[in-house]
């Protein structure tokens, strides 16, 4: 069988043609309008309006079919349109389009790579500070590498870029804006804002560790209403521990549950940070286990049931017993019922449930 090779460039052109088949007429007309337009501001506006098509290959098509100057003006407008859509509605397709437009690809032409670098430089010279769009530009700059070495000596650009690439207080600032703006927002809006903050983790993982203890306290205070805050706190690590430890002593079952979830999730991002907690199981420290029992219930480590029951017996409290009685582990529930009766309580099973921490995380 004869095998043939299709170049990535040819595949890309084929894909562009297929992707734009449904709206080719309109896009063709606008490209032709750009071709004969002498007003650069108007070309920019046409490019910005083209962002509404949300075609991931449109930038490549403009660059391929237009001369250098009108192509760059149209592409600047297109990038502006994508940024507006991202900032106003966090449009995922626009995010994908902007990334495809800016990020380096090995099969790209030298001309296109230079255009991408120019577009990224344009953004670094602006005063715009939207966290998500700036993170997209920073990520794109990192894919290009050496063309941006000159940034550090470019007047008006170097300090700003350096801050975004290496001064990871940008994450703390993003959390601060969320806390200031999110209190009056709906649950859906707050959840979306948290997701946008979590997207910064890919580019600024160390920035989460620099979120201040005060910010962590404020995030923990809203865990009851916005459990997604726990995903931020899990990535923070050490600065979040005091607030989460305190919250596990809350009278609110929901807050105890949420704090424990955040701590168990933290083990994924900071594997050794909670060694003190896990060593309590190895050393049979029933007092320490009782102080932070929601964590151990949510950890759900097989074989620790008897130790947890011993901590309940030695350091009994009504909240602790109720959480044990409804934790979803048959062995612990049965043992907790016996301990409760020994302490003078009558245990009844009936309709309804107690929403304490469940055994193990889903």
pLDDT in tens, 135-170: 788 788 878 876 665 554 555 555 555 555 555 677
Is residue 309 predicted with pLDDT exceeding 70? yes
Quick check: 289 and 281 in contact, CB under 8 A? yes
Is residue 49 predicted with pLDDT exceeding 80? yes
**DSSP letter string, 243-295:** HHHHHTT-S-HHHHHHHHHHHHHHHHHSTTTTHHHHHHHHTT-HHHHHHTHHH
Q: What is the per-residue pLDDT for 127?
A: 65
The whole-angstrom separation of Cα 233 and Cα 83 is 28
Q: What are the structural domain ranges in the chain? A: 9-160, 169-269, 297-342
Summarize pLDDT for 244-302 with one digit per residue, the tens: 999 999 999 899 989 999 999 999 999 999 999 999 999 999 999 999 999 999 999 99
User: Is the pLDDT higher at 201 or at 152?
Assistant: 201
* pTM given for the model: 0.58
Q: What is the per-residue pLDDT for 3?
A: 36
pLDDT category of residue 242 using cuts at 50, 70 and 90: very high
**DSSP letter string, 61-121:** HHHHHS-HHHHHHHHHHHHHHHHHHHHHH--HHHHHHHHHHHS--TT--HHHHHHHHHHHH
User: Is the pLDDT higher at 2 or at 236?
Assistant: 236
Q: What is the per-residue pLDDT for 243?
A: 97
Task: State both tokens at 173.
Answer: 């600032």
Question: What 8-state DSSP symbol labels residue 320?
Answer: H
Average model confidence (pLDDT) for the chain?
Answer: 83
Summarize pLDDT for 74-98 with one digit per residue, the tens: 999 999 999 999 888 888 899 999 9
Residues 190-211 have a mean pLDDT of 85
Q: What is the per-residue pLDDT for 307?
A: 97
Residues 14-27 have a mean pLDDT of 48
């Amino acid at each position: 069988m004869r095998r043939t090779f299709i170049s990535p460039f040819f595949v890309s052109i084929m894909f562009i043609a297929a992707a734009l088949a449904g709206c080719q007429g309109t896009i063709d007309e606008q490209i032709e309008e750009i071709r004969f337009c002498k007003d650069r501001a108007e070309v920019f506006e046409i490019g910005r309006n083209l962002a509404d098509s949300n075609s991931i290959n449109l930038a490549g098509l403009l660059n391929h079919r237009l001369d250098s100057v009108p192509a760059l003006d149209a592409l600047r407008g297109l990038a502006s349109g994508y940024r507006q859509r991202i900032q106003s509605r966090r449009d995922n397709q626009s995010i994908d389009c902007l990334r495809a437009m800016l990020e380096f690809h090995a099969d790209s032409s030298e001309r296109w790579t230079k255009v991408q670098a120019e577009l990224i430089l344009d953004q670094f010279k602006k005063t715009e500070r939207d966290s998500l769009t700036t993170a997209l530009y920073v990520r794109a700059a990192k894919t290009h590498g050496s063309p941006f070495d000159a940034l550090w000596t470019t007047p008006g650009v170097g300090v700003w870029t350096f801050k975004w690439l290496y001064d990871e207080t940008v994450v703390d600032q993003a959390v601060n804006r969320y806390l200031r703006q999110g209190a009056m927002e709906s649950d859906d809006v707050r959840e979306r804002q948290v997701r946008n903050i979590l997207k910064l983790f890919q580019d600024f993982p160390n920035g989460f560790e620099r979120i201040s203890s005060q910010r962590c306290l404020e995030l923990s205070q809203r865990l009851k209403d916005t459990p997604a805050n726990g995903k931020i706190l899990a990535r923070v690590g050490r600065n979040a521990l005091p607030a989460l430890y305190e919250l596990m002593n809350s009278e609110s079952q929901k807050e105890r549950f949420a704090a424990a979830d955040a701590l168990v999730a933290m083990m994924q991002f900071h594997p050794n940070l909670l060694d003190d907690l896990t060593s309590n199981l190895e050393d049979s420290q029933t007092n320490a286990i009782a102080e932070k029992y929601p964590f151990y219930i949510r950890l759900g480590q097989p074989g620790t049931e008897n130790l947890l029951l011993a901590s309940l017996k030695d350091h009994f409290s009504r909240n602790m017993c109720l959480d044990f009685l409804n934790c979803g582990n048959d062995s612990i529930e049965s043992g907790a019922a016996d301990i409760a009766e020994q302490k003078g309580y009558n245990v009844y099973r009936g309709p309804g449930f107690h929403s304490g921490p469940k055994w193990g995380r889903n």
